[in-house]
């Protein structure tokens, strides 16, 4: 249970505060409601590039990291398809340093030609290191492109190609800043041993003067319903073939999300789960296997993936996935199994509340998806789900017309 209070400043900035009496550290999280899904198809990778640029300094603070570090703090950020998140942890006494820095870079970012050019090179190297120079590095890109035809989830956060980043103009970058980086598109969440009212005062002090520049945010294309199975086969210089299959499912606030999460836990939540136990240990078909949901804000994916042992054929692997889905569709799920995934969910929730940083990040996230109270309701929601609901989910989602198959074949 995470206690919190929230308020909204007159410029639209949402502030959420959690008091943690045990920690000497404060966590300050600033979430901007912009991710790769807000990009244009001809200019992908911009949200992630922008996350990098946010560390390029401002007129007041030429080097962002230095004052954080002088305050014994640490900061980092991440971007995904839905949002961009910045967080700082530092000794509680220095919390105003973090607020000062975040308010400063919400308006005064250095977007000089030189800064943009250097950061573009860094991001292109990241592209090469993590996606091109890595066995299986492009697997997720291929999967997205196969599953999504219209929705911007069809590209990964890094973007469709390094050229998009290379060719981004200074004006496009400046426009991105104006459009997405302003108070009403942001959420400030704080976890520390400080009274929430005091956090709100500090929020007003450091952010209250910033003018909002409400740009309408373009609607995001909707993915049309898939009507027939899709298959793609690629050959790469990798040691083992990997087979991935994916299905469309509902969005983060739909019942699908909880049922999908629970189904993926039944299949792959730990070493006692079905896939590991059956497909790795008993049938010895895979070297590794997993099932997961993408967990996006808009309608997401349910994914099975496995790396084949050299003795396994592609047909055997696909057949094994089909058999697992069939069992679920038929409702062969014991009460015991259901109870187990519920216990596990509860324990993981508690393990995730042990430090201020996780709490601040989570508060920002739940506020962004549009249901902050869900942060404390989820355990109860999971507790209420039944085996029959999971089976109905499996029947609705695991259909051939909803299936995409990616065979990432090892070159002989």
Identify the burial level of 409 via C-beta atoms within 10 angstroms of its C-beta, where 0-12 means exposed, 13-18 middle and 19 or more buried.
Answer: middle
Is 45:164 a contact under the CB 8 Å cutoff?
yes
Is 21:193 a contact under the CB 8 Å cutoff?
yes
Residue 369 CB, shortest distance to other proteins, in Å, is 24
- Which residue, 287 or 318, is less far from other proteins as judged by CB? 287
Per DSSP, the residues of 200-236 read HHHHHHHHTTPPP--PPPPPPPPPPPP-S-EEEEEEE
User: How far is 236 from 142, CA to CA, in rounded Å?
Assistant: 12
Residue 135 CB, shortest distance to other proteins, in Å, is 5
Residue 125 CB, shortest distance to other proteins, in Å, is 5
Is 145:154 a contact under the CB 8 Å cutoff?
yes
Residue with token string 């230095």: 66
- Which residue, 125 or 326, is less far from other proteins as judged by CB? 125
Sheet of 403-410, strand order: 230-236, 403-410, 242-248, 301-308, 286-293
User: How far is 153 from 314, CA to CA, in rounded Å?
Assistant: 27
Reading the block at residue 312, the tokens are 């396994």
Residue 97 CB, shortest distance to other proteins, in Å, is 6
- Which residue, 240 or 406, is less far from other proteins as judged by CB? 240
- Which residue, 226 or 355, is less far from other proteins as judged by CB? 355
Residue 179 CB, shortest distance to other proteins, in Å, is 24
- Which residue, 12 or 91, is less far from other proteins as judged by CB? 91
- Which residue, 69 or 386, is less far from other proteins as judged by CB? 69
Residue 206 CB, shortest distance to other proteins, in Å, is 7
């Amino acid at each position: 249970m995470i206690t919190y209070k929230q308020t909204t400043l007159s410029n639209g900035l949402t502030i959420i505060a959690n008091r943690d009496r045990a920690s000497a550290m404060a966590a300050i999280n600033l979430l901007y409601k912009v991710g790769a899904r807000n990009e244009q198809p001809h200019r992908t990778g911009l949200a992630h590039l922008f996350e990098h640029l946010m560390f390029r300094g401002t007129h007041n603070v030429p080097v962002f990291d230095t004052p954080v570090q002088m305050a014994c703090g640490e900061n980092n950020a991440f971007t995904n398809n839905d949002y961009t998140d910045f967080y700082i942890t530092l000794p509680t006494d220095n919390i105003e340093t973090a607020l000062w820095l975040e308010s400063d870079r919400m308006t005064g970012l250095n977007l000089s030609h030189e800064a943009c050019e250097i950061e573009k090179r860094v991001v292109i190297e990241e592209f090469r290191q993590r996606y091109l120079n890595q066995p299986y590095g492009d697997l997720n890109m291929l999967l997205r492109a196969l599953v999504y035809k219209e929705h911007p989830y069809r590209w990964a956060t890094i973007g469709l190609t390094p050229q998009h980043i290379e060719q981004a103009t200074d004006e496009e970058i400046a426009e991105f800043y104006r459009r997405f980086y302003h108070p009403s598109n942001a959420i400030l969440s704080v976890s520390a041993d400080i009274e929430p009212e005091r956090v709100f005062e500090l929020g007003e002090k450091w952010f209250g003067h910033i003018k909002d520049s409400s740009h309408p945010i373009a609607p995001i294309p909707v993915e049309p319903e898939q009507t027939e199975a899709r298959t793609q086969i690629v050959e790469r210089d990798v040691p083992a073939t990997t087979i991935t299959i994916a299905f469309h499912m509902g969005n983060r606030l739909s019942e699908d999300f909880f049922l999908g999460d629970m189904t993926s836990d039944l299949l792959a939540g730990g070493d006692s789960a079905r896939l590991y136990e059956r497909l790795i240990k008993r049938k010895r078909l895979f070297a590794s296997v997993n099932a997961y949901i993408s967990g996006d804000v808009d309608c997401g994916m349910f994914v099975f993936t496995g790396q084949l042992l050299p003795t396994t054929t592609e047909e055997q692997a696909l057949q094994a996935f089909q058999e697992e889905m069939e069992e679920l569709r038929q409702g062969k799920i014991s009460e015991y199994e259901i109870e187990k995934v519920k216990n596990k969910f509860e324990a993981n929730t508690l393990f995730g509340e042990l430090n201020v940083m996780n709490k601040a990040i989570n508060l920002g996230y739940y506020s962004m998806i549009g249901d902050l109270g869900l942060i404390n309701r989820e355990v109860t929601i999971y507790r209420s789900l039944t085996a029959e609901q999971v089976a109905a989910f499996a029947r609705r989602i695991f259909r051939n017309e909803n299936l995409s198959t990616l065979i990432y074949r090892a070159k002989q």
